């Protein structure tokens, strides 16, 4: 079903990433920017209703439940926990497209408003990061590090993770190299705002990026 929906939605210029495991799906939500979640309820390892609660702990992203479970209790609980719509299977995928567009159209103004308030905005396609509306002139390694911090905003990221998950830092580099890169990024941010510190060290762990100044 997931493959059928993915192929169908792609025809409407929708990029779809599927996750068969709910834990992988929750992890993906912290690593990428998505516009909407289509969620089944019968999942391995975790019930879909519990997944809604987990999603709402980290995101306000719209959720459409797509489930063969037609129990009214599931629908009520799902909506109470934060789902935006409920589609019992089977259904015509054309209806799903319509509901997706309707929800995104309704959510778009608020979403744009929230993005306008964000201090850091990343564009993964162009590999650019904007700070307070101004582009930061970053090297490839600096972009890797700052974008990783941004994806885990307000959460700590270890030096080891920053080193080994970067595409443009040699694995043989010293952990101290991360400190040097962070220092350069801070300097570039300070050219725009020298009054606040946005990248903070976490003793014994690594760094944290925050816009709560």
CA–CA gap between residue 4 and residue 86 (Å, rounded): 19
Q: What is the pTM of this model?
A: 0.53
Average pLDDT of the segment spanning 60-75: 89
Burial class (CB in 10 A: 0-12, 13-18, 19+), 32: exposed
Rounded Cα distance between 57 and 48, Å, is 14
Find out if CATH 3.30.720.110 is the number for domain 120-209.
Answer: no
pLDDT, residue 155, reads 84
Q: Where in the chain is the domain with CATH 3.40.50.2300?
A: 2-117
Place of tokens 């944290």: 208
Residue range 42-61: mean pLDDT, rounded: 91
The model's pLDDT over 139-196, given as tens digits with 9 standing for 90+, comes to: 999 999 999 999 888 888 999 999 988 988 886 778 889 999 999 999 999 999 999 9
Query: Residue 31: what pLDDT?
Result: 80
d(CA 91, CA 65): 12
CATH 1.10.10.10 range(s) for the chain read 120-209
Q: What is the pLDDT of residues 108-135, one digit of tens each?
A: 555 555 544 678 988 888 889 999 889 9
Q: What is the pLDDT of residue 30?
A: 83
Share of the chain above pLDDT 90, in %: 57
List, in sequence order, the alpha helices (H) in 63-202.
Answer: 72-80, 93-117, 140-151, 159-164, 176-190
Instruction: Report pLDDT digits (tens) over 12-26.
Output: 989 999 998 999 999
The CATH class for the domain spanning 2-117 reads alpha beta
pLDDT tens digit sequence for 91-100: 899 999 999 9
For residue 114, the model assigns a pLDDT of 52
Q: What pLDDT is attached to residue 198?
A: 94
Query: In sequence order, what are the residues at sequence separation of 6 or more whose Cβ sits closer than 8 angstroms to the Cβ of residue 178?
Result: 145, 159, 162, 163, 169, 206
């Amino acid at each position: 079903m997931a493959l059928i929906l993915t192929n169908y939605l792609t025809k409407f210029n929708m990029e779809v990433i599927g996750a068969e495991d709910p834990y992988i799906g929750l992890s993906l939500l912290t690593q990428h920017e998505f516009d909407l979640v289509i969620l089944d309820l019968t999942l391995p390892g975790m019930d879909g209703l519990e997944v809604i609660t987990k999603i709402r702990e980290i995101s306000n992203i719209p959720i459409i439940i797509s489930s063969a479970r037609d129990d009214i209790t599931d629908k009520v609980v799902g909506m109470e926990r934060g789902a935006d719509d409920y589609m019992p299977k089977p259904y015509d995928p054309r209806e799903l497209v319509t509901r997706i567009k309707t929800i995104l159209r309704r959510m778009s103004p608020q979403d744009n408003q929230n993005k306008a308030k964000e201090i850091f905005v990343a564009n993964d396609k162009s590999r650019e990061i904007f700070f307070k509306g101004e582009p930061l002139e970053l090297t490839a390694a600096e972009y890797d590090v700052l974008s990783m911090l941004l994806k885990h905003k307000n959460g700590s990221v270890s030096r080891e993770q920053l080193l080994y998950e970067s595409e443009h830092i040699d694995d043989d580099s010293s952990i101290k190299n991360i400190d040097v890169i962070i220092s350069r990024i801070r300097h570039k941010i300070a050219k725009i705002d020298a009054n606040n510190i946005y990248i903070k060290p976490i003793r014994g762990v690594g760094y944290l990026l925050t816009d709560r100044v």
